[in-house]
Amino acid sequence: MKEMTQETEATAAASGQRATERFREQKASAAGTDKERVNRLASRVVKAINDTVLEEKVTYDEYNAFKAWLIKVGEDGEWPLFLDVWVEHSVEQVANEDRHGSKGTIEGPYYVPDAPEQQSPATLPMREDEPGTPLLFQGRVTNLEDQPLAGAKVEIWHADDLGFYSQYAPGLPEWNLRGTVIADADGNFAINTIQPAPYQIPTDGACGQLIAAAGWHAWRPAHLHLKVSAPGHQLITTQLYFQGDPHVGDDIASAVKPELILDPAPRADGNGREVTYDFVLDPE
Ligand code: MBD
Ligand code: FE
């Protein structure tokens, strides 16, 4: 396990602010939500908090600690982190419950659209001496009838061997370990990258404070993030994990599903590992 250095702590604080800025750029708005719906949802959330106070006999000290903590979540820019770690998995479950194709899971706070496009076979942008075990990730994109989706788009992003995402940690090339890979005419794609390491969410901000105060842990299993799409089909946002990872059974973000666990094999040429995973897209 890596040591938390001064540098990584500084990085963690900045990543929340970056995620908040990025999220703001999307200009999310509830303007289209009708009053009855807002009334119903807001009333239920407020009632859940009040029920907790009454049932647990919450004290003024606890109430004020909660208030201070909520303020700090905003100051640290950690609302995207908090929501994506502790809430998004339920939203994803609801959003994808009618799908018949590949399983999805949460997007998390570190996606960046429009990563440089490459035709398959591709090698993700990486530093000359990028640390980590080389990984060849390949597969096929099909529809529900097992027909290949020619030219399907495979967007992939993941942390480096120290758990850092480009554009959220200083000192990394802009598109490090991020890419958009176009499958060939048979729907096949092949992506050369490195295997990411288990990942600890930032521990030096409000979310880390909560984790420490509650005696939880901050780990996510190592993961590849993906968005796979093709014309006429529903885009799937997902993640893939690795068999044997110490945190595959206790992801802090509750985003692991058994169908999403890869088991890469050593490559015949001895150069790292390789794994095949096929994506099945639902029609629009
Ligand atoms: C991540 O890399 C991530 O995927 C999630 C869901 C939360 C924090 C960091
Ligand atoms: Fe992630």
169-217 pLDDT, tens per residue?
999 999 999 999 999 999 999 999 999 988 899 999 999 999 999 999 9
Whether the per-residue pLDDT at 4 is higher than 50: the answer is no
Cβ contact 149:86 at 8 Å: no
Cβ contact 73:207 at 8 Å: yes
Q: For 40-61, what is the mean pLDDT?
A: 98
The amino acid at residue 190 is: A
Count of CA atoms in the C-beta half-sphere (13 A) of 69: 15
3-class SS of residue 208:
helix
Q: Is 109 in the pocket of ligand 1 (CB under 6 A)?
A: yes
The amino acid at residue 142 is: T
* Closest by Cα among 74, 105, 70 to 253: 105
Q: Is 253 in the pocket of ligand 1 (CB under 6 A)?
A: yes
Q: Is 110 in the pocket of ligand 1 (CB under 6 A)?
A: yes
Whether the per-residue pLDDT at 9 is higher than 70: the answer is no
Q: Which domains does the chain have, with CATH numbers?
A: 7-284 (2.60.130.10)
Q: Which residue has the higher pLDDT, 221 or 151?
A: 221
Cβ contact 141:186 at 8 Å: no
d(CA 138, CA 182): 12
Minimum CA distance residue for ligand 1 atom 9: 201
Taking CA atoms, 6 is separated from 9, 29, 202, 250, in Å, by 5, 37, 13, 27
3-class SS of residue 14:
helix
How many Å lie between the centroid of ligand 2 and the Cα of residue 199? 8
Q: What is the band of 108 on the pLDDT scale with cuts at 50, 70, 90?
A: very high
